[in-house]
């Protein structure tokens, strides 16, 4: 797969923005002490933020490999292929 530096940079910018948004949301939810927001509200938002940040790590990984490759062919391996080595 070829990933240009431009596309890689875009992925890295999107990942940075996503991390900023979700970390800000986590901080805001943690500071929220409204009685109408029960434990379920907090749990759901923490789970969503956790999933988003895990996916964000994958986007950063792809973007970083593409950036380092500088337009060359980028090999994307599965986790099981890396474990076999």
- What's the pLDDT tens digit per position in 1-36? 678 889 999 999 999 999 999 999 999 998 888 878
- Over pLDDT 70: what percentage of the chain? 80
**Cβ(78)–Cβ(37) under 8 Å?**
no
Indicate the DSSP class of residue 4: -
pLDDT at 78: 63
Among residues 79, 73, 72, 74, the alpha carbon closest in space to that of 57 is found at 79
- Total-model pTM: 0.73
pLDDT at 32: 84
pLDDT at 60: 95
């Amino acid at each position: 797969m070829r990933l240009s530096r431009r596309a890689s940079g875009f992925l890295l910018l999107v990942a940075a923005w996503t991390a900023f948004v979700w970390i800000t949301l986590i901080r805001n939810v943690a500071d929220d002490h409204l009685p109408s927001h029960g434990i379920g509200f907090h749990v759901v938002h923490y789970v969503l933020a956790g999933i988003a940040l895990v996916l964000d790590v994958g986007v950063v990984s792809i973007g970083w490999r593409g950036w380092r490759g500088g337009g060359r062919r980028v090999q994307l391996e599965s986790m099981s292929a890396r474990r076999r080595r």
